[in-house]
Amino acid sequence: MPDATSPVPPGAPGPPSSPASRGAVDKVPAPALFVVSGLTLYLGAAVAVGLFDSLGAPTVSWWRIVLAAVVLLAWRRPWRRRWTRHDVVVAGFFGTALAAMNIVFYVGIDHLPLGVAVAIEFVGPIAVAAVTGRGWRERGAIVVAATGVVLLAGVTLESDLPREDVVVGLVAVLAAAGCWAGYIVLGKRVAGGGAGIDGLAIGMAVGAVVFAPFFGASVATVVPDLRLLGFLLVVAVCSSVVPYVLDQVVLRRVGTATFSVLLAMLPATAAVVGAVVLQQVPSWPELAGLVLVSGAIVMTASGRE
């Protein structure tokens, strides 16, 4: 996919790009890009679940970042463009927030039900939309979207989990929510500043290095096992490369508040895929959640940049 986010500065070499192809990407509605992102994300998640017993969820998450960084660096070759110190620092913080978001969320879902974790993590986008929203439409839309996410996630207050699991899970998921907010804000700066997918490549590389002291020992297990490495590569491409590249395309086109609302499409996409592919008939709360998420997207449509 060509970089639809950033022209190369004058005099700096960079990967060739086609104006026609960039225009084609720009013509795709942002919600449609989120549907593609959601489909690949859940495909990668389905593969990742089968690897948890071998490596553990947080380690799988780190390998997602490592291999995604390798793919993006090989594709984009970001060293061919001119970088200011500021650009590198912003990209580094962005990638660190991204890596931390994935790792601590995986810790959270290891201690809490997935639906509860998804709903709590959505506090991050809610906070971003509340602070950056330009009017009642965007702020109101995030409330509607958040309600839809809670219904789609099947959140229940009933739980027989040990207290320690609840405490660890809540701390991890709230940390993931904070990282998600940072990812949105810093991702907008990377996209708006012209670094785009090149900045994503640098950021992921930095994020992988930052957390290497915690998970680097797994290299001895993963690298000799080509089958395991292959599955991890599938997870990296489907769950990190495609979704985060599309995020950069969308963030260049819309504000952070609108982007935060669009994130509600991810659990909505999962519900639709389950209904169409797996014949899992949505419950009435899930149908109500789909309606609310759709309504939230309509509410922000007139405010998109």
State the DSSP code for 4: S
In a domain, 29, yes or no: no
DSSP string for 282-301: PPHHHHHHHHHHHHHHHHHH
Let me know if residue 8 belongs to a domain: no
DSSP code of residue 264: T
Of residues 192 and 281, more confidence is placed in: 192
Which uninterrupted H or E stretch holds 134? none
Burial of 269 (0-12, 13-18, 19+ CB in 10 A): buried
- Closest Cα to residue 291, out of 278, 272, 305? 272
Q: Which residue's entry shows tokens 């192809």?
A: 21
Examine the pLDDT at 197 and tell me if it is beyond 90.
yes
User: Is position 149 within any domain?
Assistant: yes
Q: Among residues of the chain, what percentage have pLDDT more than 70?
A: 86
**CB-based contacts of 284, cutoff 8 Å, min separation 6:** none
Structurally, how many domains does the chain consist of?
1
* Helices and strands (DSSP H and E) totals, the chain: 17, 0
Q: Is residue 244 part of a domain?
A: yes
Distance CA 255, CA 281 (A): 34
Question: Is residue 21 situated within a structural domain?
Answer: no
Q: Is residue 58 a part of any domain in this protein?
A: no
In the predicted structure, residue 135 carries a pLDDT above the cut 80: no
**Cα(168)–Cα(165) distance, rounded to whole angstroms?**
5
Total number of residues shown for the chain: 305
* Residue 268 near residue 152, CB atoms below 8 Å: yes
CA distance 100 to 92: 12
Structural tokens at position 250:
């969308």
- In this predicted structure, the answer to whether residue 268 has a pLDDT above a threshold of 50 is yes
- Residue 192 located in a structural domain: yes
Q: What is the pLDDT of residues 67-90, one digit of tens each?
A: 999 999 999 999 998 899 999 999
Would you say residue 111 has pLDDT above 90? no
Question: 115: domain range?
Answer: 82-301
Angstrom distance (rounded) from CA 222 to CA 224: 6
* SS3 label, residue 241: helix
CA dihedral 154, 125, 252, 152 (to 10 degrees): 10
Alpha helices (H) along 154-255: 163-192, 196-210, 212-215, 219-222, 226-236, 242-253
Q: Does some domain include residue 135?
A: yes
156 sits in the region (left: phi over 0; alpha: psi -120 to 50; else beta) called beta
pLDDT at 243 over 90: yes
- Of 15-19, 128-132, 191-195, the range with the lowest mean pLDDT is 15-19
- Report the Cα 34 to chain-centroid distance in Å: 10
Which DSSP category does 223 fall into?
T
